Amino acid sequence: MTIALIIPDRKLDDLHQRLSLALPGTDIEIWPAITEPDKVEFAVVWKQPKDSLANLRSLKAIQCFGAGVDAILADTSLPAVPIARIVDNSLSQTMVRYLDGVVSHYRLRLDQFKQQQQQTLWQPKGPRRLSNICVLGLGELGAAAAQHFSMLGYRVSGWARTAKQLNNIDSYYGAAGLSAAAANADIVICLLPLTPATENLLTDAFFNQLKAGAIFINVARGALVDDRALLQALDSGKLQAACLDVFRQEPLPETHPFWQHPAILITPHVSAVTSVTAVIEQIANNYQRSQRGEPMLNLVNVERGY
Ligand code: OXD
């Protein structure tokens, strides 16, 4: 039996080497150099090429190499096997650190000072008053972010598909709760999973009911947001700024208007990149579980989409 690593956009030497050490005697092959597809029983997958899973006839389990499984579930020839995702405290910490940096960037007006520098303008200003943060999505990453900002003294509201109880977070849920959760926010952080129910969730109707001058941060998936509505909200001043780490198409096409927009800060999907060190044990453990016929850890509910 073989493990296949199907992760086209990353160098895999390190993962391959460490997984071989954790699972001595197990054959591990890197896609597309899979010598005997019929021997592959376990696949570690991230943004898999179309049909790369379909011909693995002995596949017993899929381990997603990240937190979000939308790209795996979008595969129309996905074999019907259990899927696990990465849930890892260090991934949450990485995300929280990224968000903390972005919120500080706006609080300290570094976006404005950068623009002033380009115009050789010396105009001191105190920090922005940002006191209310809304976190959309209260899963592993969303809950960690909400709790972090609440501990820093922000008033935090959160929104999820179903009711969630989190200390000191004003939690809202369901379609009706979305506008209430975001209505008073100075900053809206999007950490929702991408599912058929959340695709294009954030359109004009959402942005229009925000407080004027809110700041929007998307670290979840580009397809949650209607790009045109986001640009419109920035151009009308409804939003004063947006920080985007994720896009409908990645890399973001050169001609996309986001690149040149003065109020948009772009980072290339780096908010929480899976660290090999942090996840080796989880992947090796799930491989052993699937070989023993036991349920993997952090199983995805395919119906729900995350
Ligand atoms: C993830 C990501 O879902 O990196 O893990 O976006």
Q: How many helices (H) and strands (E) does the chain have?
A: 9, 12
- Section 192-212 average pLDDT: 97
Q: In the chain, what's the furthest Cα-to-Cα distance?
A: 66
Specify the range with the lowest mean pLDDT, choosing from 9-13, 118-122, 282-286. 9-13
Residue 86 Cα: closest atom of ligand 1:
5
- Section 228-233 average pLDDT: 98
Cis peptide before 295 (omega within 30 of 0): no
User: What is the whole-number distance in angstroms between the Cα of residue 68 and the centre of ligand 1?
Assistant: 5
Q: What angle do CA 93, 98, 104 make, to 5 degrees?
A: 120
Kindly list the distances between the CA atom of residue 131 and the CA atoms of 108, 153, 164, 179, 180, in Å, as whole numbers in the listed order: 13, 8, 22, 18, 16
Residue nearest to atom 3 of ligand 1 (CA): 68
Continuous H helices in 119-235: 140-151, 174-182, 204-208, 227-235
pLDDT tier for residue 102 given thresholds of 50, 70 and 90? very high
- pLDDT tens across 147-177, in order? 999 999 999 999 999 999 999 999 999 999 9
- Section 115-138 average pLDDT: 98
- Section 48-58 average pLDDT: 94
Strand ranges across the sheet with 169-173: 169-173, 155-160, 132-136, 187-190, 214-218, 239-244, 264-266
pLDDT tier for residue 9 given thresholds of 50, 70 and 90? confident
- Section 195-218 average pLDDT: 97
Does 221 participate in catalysis according to the annotation? yes
Is the CB of 66 within 6 Å of ligand 1?
A: yes
Supply the mean pLDDT for the chain: 97
Residue nearest to atom 6 of ligand 1 (CA): 68
Query: Is pLDDT above 90 for 283?
Result: yes
Nearest to 140 by CA among 297, 287, 268: 297
3-state secondary structure at position 5: strand
Does 107 participate in catalysis according to the annotation? no
Is the CB of 67 within 6 Å of ligand 1?
A: yes
Cα–Cα dist 234/231, whole Å = 5
Strand ranges across the sheet with 61-64: 27-30, 2-6, 40-45, 61-64, 83-84
At residue 171, the pLDDT reads 98
Query: Is pLDDT above 90 for 110?
Result: yes
At residue 144, the pLDDT reads 98
Query: Is 275 in contact with 14 (CB distance < 8 Å)?
Result: no
Cα–Cα dist 53/48, whole Å = 8
- Section 86-109 average pLDDT: 97
